[in-house]
Amino acid sequence: MTKQTVKFTPTIDRNTPLPDIGTEILSGDRFHSKDFMDKEWTHLWRKVWSMGPRLEELTAVGDYVIHSLGKESFIFVMDKDKTIRGFYNICQHRGKKLVCDGRQGNAQFFKQRIWLLSKRWV
């Protein structure tokens, strides 16, 4: 058996040619430049799907998980109908984070939905 070197990631459609992405060595700036990070945030990360919390983290009514992506903070909550809902983790009125302590937990005000109703989230 001979060892094969994979030179590219196969496309989903094998009839579609692979794009030419060049062969030049990437500059290290893209890994530590604030300017490059800002461009990625504006032109990439805000426009693509991202992974959130795992389903196993939200099993009971009132469970919540805080998830951060770049500059943004999100809160995912299991509501009384066992539906997972996601929101920006920020009060639109005051501009402060809604939940600051810990990455996950279970909160009575999520169980009762009174607080969420007052904010017109549900």
pTM: 0.61
Domains of the chain: which residue ranges?
A: 58-118
pLDDT digits (tens, 9 = 90+) for 64-115: 899 888 888 898 988 888 888 888 888 877 778 877 766 777 776 665 543 4
What is the rounded distance in angstroms from the CA atom of residue 52 to the CA atom of residue 63?
Answer: 14
The predicted structure's pLDDT at residue 109: 61
Q: In sequence order, what are the residues at sequence separation of 6 or more whose Cβ sits closer than 8 angstroms to the Cβ of residue 53?
A: 65, 67, 76, 104
Per-residue pLDDT tens digits for 3-60 = 555 555 555 677 888 778 888 888 888 888 999 888 888 888 888 888 888 889 999 8
CA distances from residue 93 to 5, 8, 58, 66, 105 in whole angstroms, order as listed: 56, 48, 27, 20, 24
Instruction: Sort 117 into a burial class: Cβ within 10 Å, 0-12 / 13-18 / 19+.
Output: exposed
Fold of the domain built from segment(s) 58-118: Rieske Iron-sulfur Protein (2.102.10)
SS3 115: helix
